[in-house]
Amino acid sequence: MGWFELRKKKSSTIAKDRLKLLLVSERLDCSPTTMIMLKNDLIKTISKYMTVEEDQVTVSISYSPSILTAQIPFAESHPMNY
């Protein structure tokens, strides 16, 4: 490996890091852009293992009490090989 070779992060690592960022900053307003990026990361990660109906995925956060909710419907199809 070279000194300047960059490793590509796994989508699960990116989703986990973004989720941590969201939870740490829960007292601050979460921008719509951050929520979209989190939603896309979750879809990308879960799609590796199951077929997801991407157009029906919703991610929301409520602050009293602090709850992050993700509704991820799975498509009815044959199980994916992994």
Threshold 0.85, pTM exceeds: no
19 in any annotated domain: yes
4 in any annotated domain: no
Apex 74 CA angle, 50 and 65, nearest 5? 110
Residue 14 binned pLDDT confidence (cut-offs 50, 70, 90): confident
Instruction: Look at the chain and report how many structural domains it folds into.
Output: 1
Q: What is the largest CA-CA distance in the chain?
A: 49
78 in any annotated domain: no
43 in any annotated domain: yes
5 in any annotated domain: no
47 pLDDT exceeds 60? yes
Residue 66's domain comprises 11-71
77 in any annotated domain: no
3 in any annotated domain: no
81 in any annotated domain: no
